């Protein structure tokens, strides 16, 4: 009898040692089921809130867009107007707006409950290019912004073949035209260019008072413009051209000859007027510096 009692206690003790482990295993399916239920309820709640209209896009705020703000706002409303902010994909909206010709970059932010905030960095118009049947505005990035407007009519005209100019939103890739754009986009330092093109002396900009600034190429164009400004400030009379192709040794031709240039021939250059500015690609910038120069700064 005593032996039987010992055997029963041993069996019960073994069961007590195994029950806690068995209980933990039994709880795993319950925990998984609870997690699935929570996720399901969350998804259902999201859909119910999104469908309720409480967070529908009702207003689009545009900052930094300038003249393009209305176009940006219209494009956003067309894409997501009436949708819930919870469903709006900011990346997709930004990609749509980046395709607009006058938009350089854009940031999109959801401002609950009903506003989509857009911050635009616009392209900077720097030049006008001929297309064969008209003119278009070109940004510093080389992007074609569209037709010339009242506010862009005074931009310099760059020389380009019609085949070099893509449609609105496209980018100019022709190396020579991009060098002209580099001059147009650089700080002017008081110089107002009417046209920028290539002449006998390389890359040249013609100011609105008929002065030629000869750059040679667009390398160090900011330095060259700074030197040209310094040369012009030192000039005692009218100037016909300034050559800064070698910025460390600028040269210029003045209207009034001095002892160094008294016997030099007068350079001739066809005028660039409104009637001929479309042909600026074949415009000759004038005589070479070797014909008549006054060397400054040694």
163 or 55: whose pLDDT is higher?
163
Q: Per-residue pLDDT for 287 more than 50? A: no
241: domain CATH number is: 3.40.50
Residue pair 265/292 in contact by the 8 Å Cβ criterion: yes
**Which tokens go with 10?**
């041993």
50 falls within a domain: no
276 or 144: whose pLDDT is higher?
144
Same domain, 66 and 79: yes
Domain boundary residue among 102, 122, 142?
A: 122
Domain encompassing residue 210:
186-295
37 falls within a domain: no
253 falls within a domain: yes
Same domain, 152 and 196: no
- Rounded Cα–Cα distance for residues 125 and 155 (Å): 8
Same domain, 190 and 286: yes
156 falls within a domain: yes
53 falls within a domain: no
* b (16+ CB within 10 A) / e for 17-34: eeeeeeeeeeeeeeeeee
The pLDDT tens digits of the residues spanning 195-245 come to: 999 988 899 999 988 889 999 999 999 999 999 988 888 876 778 899 999
Same domain, 135 and 230: no
Cα-based distances in Å from 185 to 5, 79, 243? 102, 34, 19
**pLDDT at residue 133, as a whole number:** 87
Same domain, 193 and 289: yes
**pLDDT at residue 82, as a whole number:** 81
CA 192 to chain centre: 23
The pLDDT tens digits of the residues spanning 126-182 come to: 999 999 889 999 999 999 999 998 889 999 999 999 999 999 999 999 999 999 999
pTM greater than 0.85 (yes/no): no
Same domain, 109 and 132: no
Number of domains in the chain: 3
**Which tokens go with 293?**
């120069």
81: domain CATH number is: 3.10.20.310
CA 271 to chain centre: 34
Q: What is the DSSP track for 8-19?
A: HHHHHHHHHHHH
32 falls within a domain: no
DSSP state of 279: G
285 falls within a domain: yes
φ, ψ at 157 (rounded to 5°): -90, 130
Domain boundary residue among 113, 137, 171?
A: 171
289 or 214: whose pLDDT is higher?
214
Domain boundary residue among 171, 199, 229?
A: 171
Same domain, 108 and 135: no
- Rounded Cα–Cα distance for residues 248 and 223 (Å): 10
């Amino acid at each position: 009898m005593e032996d039987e009692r010992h055997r029963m206690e041993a069996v019960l003790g073994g069961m007590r040692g195994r029950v806690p482990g068995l209980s933990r295993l039994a709880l795993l399916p319950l925990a998984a089921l609870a997690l699935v239920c929570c996720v399901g309820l969350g998804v259902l709640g999201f859909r119910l809130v999104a469908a309720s209209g409480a967070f529908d896009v009702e207003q689009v705020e545009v900052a930094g867009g300038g003249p393009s703000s209305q176009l940006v706002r219209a494009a956003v409303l067309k894409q997501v107007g009436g949708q819930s902010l919870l469903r709006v994909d900011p990346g997709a909206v930004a990609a749509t707006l980046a395709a607009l010709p006058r938009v350089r970059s854009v940031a999109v932010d959801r401002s609950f409950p009903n506003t989509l905030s857009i911050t635009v960095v616009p392209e900077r118009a720097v030049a006008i290019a001929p297309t064969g049947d008209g003119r278009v505005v070109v940004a510093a990035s080389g992007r074609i912004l569209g037709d010339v407007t009242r506010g862009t009519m005074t931009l310099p005209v760059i020389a380009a073949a019609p085949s070099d100019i893509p449609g609105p939103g496209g980018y100019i890739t022709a190396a020579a035209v991009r060098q002209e754009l580099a001059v147009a986009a650089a700080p002017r330092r008081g110089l107002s260019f009417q046209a920028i093109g290539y002449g006998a002396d390389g890359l040249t900009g013609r100011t609105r008072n008929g002065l030629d600034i000869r750059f040679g190429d667009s390398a160090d164009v900011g330095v060259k413009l700074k030197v040209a400004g310094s040369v012009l400030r030192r000039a005692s009379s009218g100037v016909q051209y300034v050559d800064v192709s070698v910025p460390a040794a600028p040269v210029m031709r003045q209207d009034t000859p001095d002892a160094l240039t008294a016997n030099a021939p007068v350079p001739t250059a066809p005028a660039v007027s409104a009637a001929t500015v479309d042909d600026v690609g074949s415009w000759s910038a004038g005589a070479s510096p070797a014909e008549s120069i006054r060397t400054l700064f040694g």
